[in-house]
Structure 1
Amino acid sequence: MSGIGASAIVSINQTANRFQSSIVLRWKGKAIDVKSILGLSLTLLSSQEYTLEVHGPDEAEAKAAMIAAFEKHGLRVIAG
């Protein structure tokens, strides 16, 4: 299993921080706050699939942007 690069983590984090909504990844019983660089860097592996949960006032826009950001970096994410 290989982790993703720092530039991908920063890019995903910056995308998440553009939105007011709560953005969380679920993986193996863990909840990862996508707005936390530390949480992302300790968790993201390119060989895994994650469930994306978005809740808040700009939910639709945030979900679309986050799916695109993850796919751009070769990460598999499904909207929950």
Structure 2
Amino acid sequence: MTNTSNAAVVEISKTANKFRSSIVLQYDNKFIDVKSILGLFTTLLDTGKYDLHVHGPDANEAKAAMSEVFAKHNLAINVIED
């Protein structure tokens, strides 16, 4: 298992910070605040499969943008529809 590239982590965090919604990745029983660049650097792996939880006033836009940026970097996510 290898860590994702620095560029991917930075772009994911920057994209998440454009939104007011809470954006969290779940991996097993770990929850990662996607707006935290440090959290992403220490836990995001390019071989992991993550669930993306988005809650807030701009959740639909955030889900679409986050799906796009994760796909761009070949990272697998499952967007949770609550």
TM bin (shorter chain) = over 0.9
Gaps of 5+ in 2: none
Task: Output the TM-score relative to the length of structure 1.
Answer: 0.98
After TM superposition, what 4+ stretches of structure 1 lie above 2 angstroms from structure 2?
Answer: none
Give unmatched runs, 5+ long, in structure 1: none
1:16 equivalenced with 2:16 (yes/no): yes
Match of 1:54 in 2: 54
Distance 1:6 1:47 in 2: 15
Determine helix, strand or coil for the equivalent of 2:18. coil
RMSD: 0.5
Q: Percent identity?
A: 54
- Matches of 2:21 and 2:4, distance apart in 1: 24
C-alpha displacement of 1:27: 0.3
* TM-score, scaled to structure 2: 0.95
Paired residue for 1:31?
31
Aligned length: 80
2 CA distance for matches of 1:43 and 1:77? 14
Q: Which amino acid aligns with 2:53?
A: E
